[in-house]
Amino acid sequence: MKKVILASSSAMRAKLLRKAGLNFTVIKSGYRERLQARKDPRKLVEFLALQKARTVAKKFPKDIVIGADSVMVLDGKVFGKPKGAREHSAMLKKMSGRSHVMLTGVAIVSAHPRSEKTFSHMARVTFKRLSDNEITSYVRAKEGSLAAGGYRIQKQAKQFVKNIRGNIDTVIGLPVKETIQRIAAMQREV
């Protein structure tokens, strides 16, 4: 059975996989992601996840590599991680009292024999109306500064959420159930 590598620096993705009982190693991909505004958001997250997985799979061709990427979509615009406090605050103000979509793309790659599987999941998240104090306090805490959409639903930002339609794991950053199923299928193929 092939070893599994998570090509991600996300502690939450690793935590989700550990909780699901998967035995894996974490190796950061080092791939420099760039959001391409004109690309369809689903294709974008799948593309970025695939590039991360391919980067690591080149170095570990005998293993199965998981790459993942998440973005937030609001008013047709794609948002990644906020670049600084001002952008973070503006992002949260736009989301206040409204619904947005969180998209997570996953790529599972095996270099030998060559196999690449990509998929994405979405969840619609509705925020309650946020006060300026809540936004300022959250931005100062820097909890969501390294997360797509500028918040971590599994932490303090859960108090911002009015409703979720979809899987919370997608919002956190990895649809675990399908990821595990696809890894198992890939291991059977080899």
Q: Give the span between the Cα atoms of 108 and 181, in whole angstroms.
A: 11
Residues 31 and 91 sit within 8 Å (Cβ to Cβ): no
69 is catalytic: yes
**Dihedral of CA 28/32/35/36: which sign?**
negative
Q: Which of 40, 69, 132, 169 is catalytic?
A: 69
**Cis omega before residue 175 (within 30°)?**
no
Indicate which residues carry an active-site annotation. Answer: 69
